[in-house]
């Protein structure tokens, strides 16, 4: 059984429109699939990994501070060094800074919810952010998305990219969420739930969560194929 969600999953209403309904046309492999662009440390600013800092205007963002740390691993369990990871999320009230997000919750002038970071020599990354809020969406009556953070991992070029979502332990909305439930394998779903880690928790500052990302093999992290 595949760990990745199918493109067409009727309980997730948007997939009925997004999923292909004709046979896909294979494209020939070209040199562009194996070359640039290449990302490096020089393209990141010192505070890009910290959403509580990188968008401040006149104060700190509102909400519960958290630290998310983990390792990026290949299919053999070896660390992937120097990989670019981008994250985006809703604010503590469950709203994105996007013109199409009309959820009547407040925006935070000191928070964009976006971060960029590189893995270190051990494949580790560290994100400091605000715990996102749940928000309503129009998939079905009284539908709410569980709190989550989107992760995008880039390889050597834009053709090599993994997009997934990280959830929080104990969230009751997971049982009602068709995006999460659309992953056919129970073990795969569990890999998208972060672990609370007291060792990562910073006294008086932020709770800590661990979330490892595996790019292949038996323990691979499910993609967000919807």
Core vs surface per residue 170-201: b (16+ CB within 10 A) or e:
eeebbebbbbbebbeeeebbebbbbeebeebe
- Give me the catalytic one of 12, 125, 135, 209: 135
Selected catalytic residue, list 150, 210, 223, 226 = 150
148 is catalytic: yes
User: Choosing from 9, 96, 125, 209, which is the catalytic residue?
Assistant: 96
Question: Which residue in 145, 180, 189, 191 is the catalytic one?
Answer: 145
Q: Is 159 a catalytic residue?
A: no
The answer to whether residue 96 is catalytic is yes
Choose, from 49, 71, 131, 148, the residue flagged as catalytic.
148
- Is 167 considered catalytic here? no
> Residues with catalytic annotation?
96, 135, 145, 148, 150
């Amino acid at each position: 059984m595949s760990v990745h969600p199918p493109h067409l999953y009727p309980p997730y209403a948007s997939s009925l429109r997004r999923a292909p309904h004709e046979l896909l046309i294979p494209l020939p492999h070209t040199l562009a699939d194996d070359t640039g662009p290449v990302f490096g440390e020089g393209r990141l600013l010192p505070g890009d990994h910290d959403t509580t800092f990188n968008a401040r205007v006149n104060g700190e963002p509102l909400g519960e501070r958290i630290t998310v740390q983990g390792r990026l691993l290949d299919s053999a369990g070896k660390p992937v060094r120097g990989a670019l990871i981008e994250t985006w999320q809703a604010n503590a009230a469950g709203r994105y800074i996007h013109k199409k997000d009309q959820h009547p919750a407040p925006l935070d002038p000191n928070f964009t919810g976006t971060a960029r970071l590189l893995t270190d020599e051990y494949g580790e990354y560290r994100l400091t952010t605000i715990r996102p809020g749940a928000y309503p969406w129009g998939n079905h009556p009284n539908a709410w998305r569980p709190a989550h953070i989107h992760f995008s991992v880039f390889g050597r070029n834009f053709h090599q990219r993994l997009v997934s979502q990280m959830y929080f332990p104990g969230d009751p909305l997971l049982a009602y969420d068709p995006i999460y439930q659309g992953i056919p394998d129970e073990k795969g779903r569990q890999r998208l739930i972060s672990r609370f880690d007291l060792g990562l928790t910073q006294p008086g500052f932020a709770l800590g969560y661990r979330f490892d990302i595996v790019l292949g093999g038996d323990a691979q992290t499910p993609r967000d194929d919807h």
